[in-house]
């Protein structure tokens, strides 16, 4: 029998990895982005809580004219069956970077939005019903549960 959640997670991880290779981040911003998520500089990159981090998204996510970044950290020891965690950092008006959210899972930014234009985040991974987080102006909190765009219950 084919494990659909494993296939879905594998495809999400492959897509995230492929996307990570194409992200262009100005060298002047890299250290500030990683430091905002508490990553430490190591010989061959930046170390998070579990592994070496990669910036997989670098763009304005909420339409405020400032860049945001998503860092991916991978490890089944730290993140269980999902195998990945992510950190969202946002550039502030003063140019500094600030972590606004982190979780284990594979983030998918949805068209629906919370306060200040922040997109809802479907927190994917193994399974068939995922938490969707919404920004309330201070933090991302669980707003609903969905699977393939349809409401579900845990």
Residue listed under structure tokens 């991916």: 72
Residue 134 has pLDDT above 50, yes or no: yes
pTM to 2 decimal places: 0.83
Residue 122 forms beta bridges with which residues? 108, 132
Residue 102 has pLDDT above 50, yes or no: yes
Measured between alpha carbons, how far is residue 12 from residues 41, 80, 93, 110, 143 in Å? 27, 16, 32, 15, 22
- Phi, psi at 60, each rounded to 5°: -80, 105
- Phi, psi at 137, each rounded to 5°: 105, -20
The residue among 128, 126, 141, 47 whose CA lies nearest residue 82 is 126
Alpha-carbon distance of 2 to 19, in angstroms, equals: 26
The residue among 127, 153, 112, 154 whose CA lies nearest residue 140 is 112
Residue 15 has pLDDT above 90, yes or no: no
Amino acid 81: pLDDT = 83
pLDDT confidence band for 10 (50 / 70 / 90): very low
Residue 30 has pLDDT above 80, yes or no: yes
Task: Judge contact between 120 and 132, C-beta under 8 A.
Answer: yes
- Give per-residue pLDDT as tens, 64-90: 999 999 999 988 888 888 889 999 999
- Phi, psi at 84, each rounded to 5°: -140, 155
The residue among 83, 59, 81, 85 whose CA lies nearest residue 72 is 85
Strand, helix or coil for residue 17:
helix
Residue 31 has pLDDT above 50, yes or no: yes
């Amino acid at each position: 029998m084919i494990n659909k959640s494993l296939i879905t997670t594998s495809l999400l991880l492959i897509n995230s990895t492929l996307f990570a290779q194409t992200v262009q981040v100005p060298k002047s911003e890299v250290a500030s982005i990683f430091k905002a998520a508490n990553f430490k500089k190591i010989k061959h990159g930046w170390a998070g809580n579990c592994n070496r981090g990669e910036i997989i998204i670098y763009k304005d996510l909420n339409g405020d004219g400032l860049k945001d970044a998503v860092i991916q950290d991978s490890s089944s020891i730290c993140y269980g069956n999902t195998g990945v965690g992510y950190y969202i950092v946002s550039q502030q008006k003063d140019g500094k970077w600030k972590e606004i959210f982190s979780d284990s899972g594979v983030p998918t930014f949805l068209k629906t939005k919370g306060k200040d234009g922040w997109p809802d985040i479907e927190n994917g991974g193994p399974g068939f019903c995922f938490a969707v987080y919404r920004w309330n102006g201070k933090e991302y909190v669980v707003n609903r549960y969905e699977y393939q765009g349809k409401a579900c219950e845990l």
